[in-house]
Homo-oligomer: A and B are copies of this chain.
Amino acid sequence: MVLQARPLRLSTADAGFEAAFEARLHWSADTDAQVEQAVTDILEAVRKRGDEAVLEFTRRFDRLQAPSMAALELKPAELKAAFESLPAAQRSALETAAARVRSYHEAQKQANGQGWSYRDADGTLLGQKVTPLDRVGIYVPGGKAAYPSSVLMNAIPAHVAGVGEIIMVVPTPGGEKNPLVLAAAHVGGVHRAFTVGGAQAIGALAYGTKTVPRVDKITGPGNAYVASAKRRVFGLVGIDMIAGPSEILVLADGSTPADWVAMDLFSQAEHDELAQSILLCPDAGYIDRVQQEIDRLLPEMPRAEIIARSLSGRGALIRTRDMAQACEISNRIAPEHLEIASTEPHRWEPLLKHAGAIFLGGYTSESLGDYCAGPNHVLPTSSTARFSSPLGVYDFQKRSSLIEVSEAGAQSLGRVAATLAHGEGLQAHARAAEMRIKP
């Protein structure tokens, strides 16, 4: 049988467009009761029995025997050796990517991550100070979705923020280590690393064990067990976000070579059969050409089967009235990755309100952003770009308000505060303000 990748063809002019569009977008992160119960039990065991429980689950789930948690620590020398064992091209690519990611996040910190303050006329000082988190944990998936680039994308913003200690956890099922992941930990400035994973790794980081120090925040993607565990420890520690399947949306005016756009759709689809690739374009002829390129290029792809399943099951090629309507639909989707495959990307960008990352112009393939352009590739999925942001330096910093009321300020503010506090029935609040007012 010949593999076929046939994204759903839609036109906004069709009568049934709304229903078909909604059905195609629908994705539900239903929680699985069995996963939830397993995670409850694992977290409870790790909280109570620490290292011993982590070792036990690692034996059971990762088929990895270890005499102690200490034996599961990857020492800096091992990370460095992994880096040095790589072919020169990979070493250099990792270093170039890391340097660019670092520069971008330094610019981000400079632009939006600094403290500020001002004084009122009466001398009262108001502001905020910005400080790094003390210690963070980075979860790195093992097995088939082991991405060294994700190690860089999590570790480097933490490093730039000034986090004191960055601890990586990565499962190594059967004891098999991925040298690129270890090398990326070296390049990314990870301070300590343990070969544990799953809900037990999240528990170790959140509660702390004798060997694994307790962290303040946990970032990084994982499977359903990891996602559930992160959701449960949220509040005790910070977490980044709960990631869903990856998505790309391409807005095309027909000016970018159709094979480039086809390959960009593939590059999302090859992640996972649940990944979603959508093209929005006012030009029906161009949409035909993209489909032809899909058909032509598919057989060349090593991951053709996943691509075909993803594109046929969740992909869509949508003809819009014009580019402005394509932008409106993009805002409804709030995609993780948004390419503007147009000669006028800056004409359309201001119309785009919700997206994790916007790739402007035909030369900006999503894959350049995924690896080395500089911006973070950890982005809000499943429409959460409506309210959340790419992972950044700000995820590894927190703010404290600064307030220094002058003697004069205490006179005027004290009266206002006392009036409101009395209105709320909080008399001690009122008295504390009144005591500072001179008779």
Chain A residues engaging chain B, CB cutoff 8 angstroms: 29, 89-90, 92-94, 96-97, 104, 107-108, 111-114, 116, 118, 124-129, 131, 133-134, 146-149, 180, 216-217, 231, 234-235, 237-238, 241-242, 257, 259-260, 263-264, 266-267, 269-271, 297, 301-303, 307, 338, 345, 349, 352-376, 379-380, 382, 384-390, 392, 394, 398-407, 409-410, 413-417, 419-421, 423-433, 435-436
Contacts and interface: CB of A to CB of B under 8 A. Distances in A.
Given A90-B420, A93-B416, 9 more contacts: A129-B349, A238-B387, A238-B388, A257-B435, A263-B435, A365-B432, A371-B429, A387-B398, A389-B399
Contacts of A270: 426-429
When A and B form their complex, which 10 residue pairs have the shortest distance between CB atoms, in order from nearest? A238-B387, A360-B404, A111-B116, A266-B428, A357-B401, A375-B401, A93-B419, A389-B399, A367-B429, A371-B417
| Copies of this chain assembled into the complex | 2
B148 A423 contact: yes
Given A368-B413, A385-B400, A94 B353 contact: no
Interface of A is mostly: mixed
B259 A435 contact: yes
Contacts of A387: 133, 216-217, 237-238, 398
Given A237-B387, A426-B267, A368 B403 contact: yes
A302 B423 CA distance: 14
Contacts of A367: 417, 421, 426, 428-430, 432-433
Contacts of A379: 401
B360 A125 contact: yes
A180 B423 contact: yes
Given A113-B112, A432-B367, A436-B365, A420 B148 contact: yes
A386 B133 contact: yes
Contacts of A373: 124, 126, 403, 405, 409, 413
Contacts of A345: 404
Contacts of A303: 425-428
Contacts of A375: 126, 128, 401-403
A431 B269 CA distance: 13
29 contacts: A92-B419, A93-B415, A107-B126, A111-B116, A112-B112, A128-B390, A134-B353, A147-B424, A217-B387, A234-B234, A235-B242, A235-B384, A263-B435, A264-B432, A301-B427, A301-B428, A302-B427, A307-B428, A349-B402, A354-B398, A355-B400, A356-B400, A360-B402, A368-B405, A368-B409, A368-B436, A370-B421, A385-B400, A387-B398
